[in-house]
């Protein structure tokens, strides 16, 4: 039996072909893939042929935000990370930092941009009735946002700045509010109107990023400092603005992944303020919390999928996602 698969052969060289279907090994569940979200990290692979210090060594199937349905008809959201569960980090509760982790669509581990995938059953979370399978791909970015907010130590009454209103930034806005943030101010490029509008709809005040490189408009909007800033843009300018906008003794959580594997900031400002900088690595096992936030209406997924494509049109889907003008782009194998 064969299936259709999209493989990345080089920079912007995404080809759809036919391959043999996978079989489920011990501890795996065979899924028919229903929806795959295109993430910013996927775009690094697509545009740069790698991400950070990981480079494309062979044609790779991308896609780590995915839902699927089993042969028994059970719908799942997948955790794309498969930690070893045996190392010290895993045993200490830091499975997101496992050095032996397998991650869908990264390195040698093929992802979900194909019709079928076999994935470890322990990394699958059943979807509740009524939750749309396409919208449910947003649960993975929501998990990343939950982890970022955990690192930010947001408490009730705090003022929060979020740099970047892509899918993870939009999730961070909602999770910060659910955690008790009094006010959330977000930054985004004015030309990305869909993201600006979505951030406002989800409860943030929005400042044009290109007009506020020093974070002064954020401070004016808050009438003071941000207690915490979450950087979700992957740009030096966003990190710089976060450092400038955050109060002395505050925290800056860096979630965005930069092109070229380099970030810079004003060391003197960060040092004088005594800022704590935390770098977010993916997420911990938080899907139960993510689903609870959605089912209790503290977080909405509705309206956050802006573009939908068939697997055959995967290259076009990536080209659209690379403009970063919409919200979540989804491929439906």
Q: How far apart are CA 39 and CA 233, in angstroms?
A: 12
Q: How far apart are CA 16 and CA 318, in angstroms?
A: 13
Which contiguous run of DSSP H or E holds residue 65?
strand 65-70
CB 49, CB 81: distance < 8 Å: no
What is the DSSP-derived secondary structure letter of residue 272? H
3-class SS of residue 306: strand
Which are the catalytic amino acids?
41, 44
Residue 26: which residues within 8 A CB-CB, separation 6 or more? none
Phi, psi of 255 (to 5 degrees): -110, -35
Is 57 exposed, middle or buried, given 0-12, 13-18 or 19+ CB atoms closer than 10 A?
Answer: exposed
Q: How far apart are CA 4 and CA 95, in angstroms?
A: 32
CB 6, CB 38: distance < 8 Å: no
Q: What is the tally of helices (H) and strands (E) in the chain?
A: 10, 19
- 3-state SS, one letter per residue, for 141-206: HHHHHHHHHHHHCCCCCCEEEEECCCHHHHHHHHHHHHCCCCEEEEEECCCCHHHHHHHHHCCCEE
3-class SS of residue 292: helix
What is the DSSP-derived secondary structure letter of residue 39? P
């Amino acid at each position: 039996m064969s299936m259709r698969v999209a493989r990345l052969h080089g920079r912007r060289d995404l080809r759809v072909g036919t391959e043999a279907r996978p079989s489920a090994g011990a501890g795996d569940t065979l899924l028919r893939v229903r929806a795959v979200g295109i993430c910013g990290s996927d775009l690094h692979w697509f545009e740069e042929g790698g991400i950070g210090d990981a480079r494309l060594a062979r044609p790779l199937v991308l896609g780590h935000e995915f839902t699927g349905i089993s042969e028994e008809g059970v719908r799942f959201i997948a955790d794309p990370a498969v930690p070893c569960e045996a190392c010290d980090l895993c045993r200490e509760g830091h499975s997101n930092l496992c050095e032996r982790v397998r991650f869908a669509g990264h390195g040698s581990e093929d992802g979900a941009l194909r019709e079928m995938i076999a994935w470890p059953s322990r990394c699958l979370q059943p979807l509740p009735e009524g939750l749309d399978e396409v919208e449910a791909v947003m649960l993975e970015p929501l998990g990343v946002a939950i982890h970022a907010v955990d690192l930010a130590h947001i408490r009730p009454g705090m003022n929060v700045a979020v740099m970047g209103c892509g899918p993870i930034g939009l999730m961070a806005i909602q999770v910060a509010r659910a955690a008790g943030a009094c006010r959330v101010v977000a930054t985004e490029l004015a030309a990305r109107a869909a993201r600006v509008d979505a951030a406002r709809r989800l409860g943030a005040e929005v400042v044009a990023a290109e007009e506020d490189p020093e974070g002064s408009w954020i401070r004016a909007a808050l009438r003071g400092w941000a207690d915490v800033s979450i950087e979700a843009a992957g740009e030096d300018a966003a990190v710089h603005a976060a450092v400038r906008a955050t109060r002395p003794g505050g925290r800056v959580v860096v979630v965005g992944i930069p092109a070229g594997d380099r970030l810079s900031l004003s060391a003197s400002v960060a040092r004088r303020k005594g800022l704590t900088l935390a770098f977010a690595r993916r997420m911990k096992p938080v899907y139960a919390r993510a689903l609870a936030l959605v089912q209790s209406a503290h977080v909405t997924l509705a309206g956050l999928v802006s573009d939908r494509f068939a697997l055959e049109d995967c290259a076009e889907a990536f080209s659209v996602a690379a403009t970063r003008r919409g919200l979540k782009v989804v491929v439906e194998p």
